Amino acid sequence: MTLFLALLVYGLLAKAPNTKINETLARSQVAAAPGFDLPVLQRGAPTSALETRLRPAFTDGRITLAELRGTPVVLNFWASWCVPCREEAPLLERTWRTARGQEVLLVGLNQQDLTEDARAFMREFGISYPNVRDQSNGVARRWGVTGLPETFFITARGGVVGHVIGVISPEQMRAGIAASRSGRSAGLLQGGERRSTP
């Protein structure tokens, strides 16, 4: 019986999302960004300067967070079935068209989705920024994601300085990008609507 309970607790904890990023941001501190190594879903259209810097990341069809060091990153978790993700998609694309000129990289991280559905979503909204795909929920759990959409702001040195839970507003996007460029914490922010993930 004791072994069964121990395995049950382990199973629940192993699947529980990590809370360290949110706890650190709640104290207005910078959190360490968990790494990832994911296949490219869409290469996107970075500026020539970003393209040169990111060429190694695109060469093998995979992107690791370590390959993005040196560039501030906006990381957005999404899925095509997520209605709130549809609401924020136009803002993300507008942001990308502006931010890439400021050497800030927007990366979409698609999860819990069918590849063709994800690609249809990107076509529908004219998404032109790079996207990766996580076929499991492993990356989301390490980042503490509990619903979609969620957006993280990462410094060029790899520190998480902001997290918006739910649909992001233009003001939150501007503040997050400024934080990712300056290295100062923007904290943990509540956005608009979102969908819980299993």
- Lookup: tokens for 96: 């990308």
Residue 198 pLDDT exceeds 60: yes
pLDDT at 6 over 50: no
In this model, does residue 167 exceed pLDDT 60?
yes
Q: Residue 65 has what DSSP assignment?
A: T
Q: What is the pTM of this model?
A: 0.89
* Per-residue pLDDT at 58: 73
Distance between alpha carbon 140 and the CA centroid of its chain, in Å?
9
H/E stretch holding 79 reads none
CATH 3.40.30.10 for domain 18-196, yes or no, is yes
Query: 36-53 pLDDT, tens per residue?
Result: 999 999 988 766 677 777
Query: Mean pLDDT throughout 130-155?
Result: 95
pLDDT digits (tens, 9 = 90+) for 171-193: 999 999 999 999 999 999 999 99
Cα 150–152–158 angle (5° rounding)?
155
Q: What is the pLDDT of residues 68-127, one digit of tens each?
A: 999 999 999 999 999 999 999 999 999 999 888 888 999 999 999 999 999 999 999 999
pLDDT score recorded for residue 47: 65
Each domain of the chain, given as residue ranges in start order, spans 18-196
d(CA 154, CA 32): 9
Q: Which residues make Cβ contacts (< 8 Å) with residue 114, sequence separation at least 6?
A: 80
Share of the chain above pLDDT 70, in %: 89
The token pair at 15 is: 């699947």
Average pLDDT over residues 19-23: 94
| DSSP-derived pairing of the beta strands 187-190 and 131-134 | unpaired
Stretch 127-131: mean pLDDT: 94
**Cβ neighbours, 10 Å, residue 17:** 17
Q: Across all residues in the chain, what is the average pLDDT?
A: 88
